[in-house]
Amino acid sequence: MATSERHGSAPGRGAGDGTGTPAPQDAAAAQDTPAAQDAAAPRAVVRFRRSGAAFAAAVIAVIAAAPLTTASRWLFPLLLVPVAVAVWAWRSGTVADGRGLTVTALAGRRFLPWETVAAVGPDEHRGAIARLDSGHLVRLPAVGAEDVPRLLAAAPGGNATTAH
């Protein structure tokens, strides 16, 4: 039954105000359902990025290498290393939201829905990894072992677990 019929107003109208919005008591009743609460709840977005110091160091290295590369064209490839490090420091990171994890590296980006993530936990280098249902391990750039609880807070309903 339509909202307008329950309130006795004209078909296609909400609460008699002509906007088509439901009456306030209907809005409150609609918010009581679990699906509506889940849809209305704001999704936490957690971003993990490299330190700005890594990017700054790479830029300084580019500036320091510039005079060498102008001295000889054979030294020009030396400039590519700090430029690649600067791009890596700028781009790489992990974003966790209600839909999943987005892992960004130097040359690509990969989206991992939470449904495919079996566990998230620390690795042997004080970083973090995600173990997928397929058994593959995905390193999570810029996420430290101490950041795993904050990363998992973005998972809806806690369907990803911590691996030890």
Segment 34-59, tens digit of pLDDT? 444 444 455 589 999 998 999 999 99
Given a cut of 50, whether residue 15 has pLDDT beyond it is no
Nearest C-alpha neighbor of 128 from the set 103, 99, 154: 103
Q: How far apart are CA 21 and CA 163, in angstroms?
A: 46
DSSP string for 31-47: HTSHHHHHHHSPPP-EE
Q: What does the pLDDT average to over 125-143?
A: 94
Residue 84, classed as helix, strand or coil, is helix
pLDDT band of residue 161 (cuts 50, 70, 90) is low
Domain boundaries, the chain: 46-162
Q: Which tens digit of pLDDT belongs to each residue from 60-113?
A: 999 999 998 888 888 888 899 999 999 999 999 999 999 999 999 988 999 999
Architecture of domain 46-162: Roll (2.30)
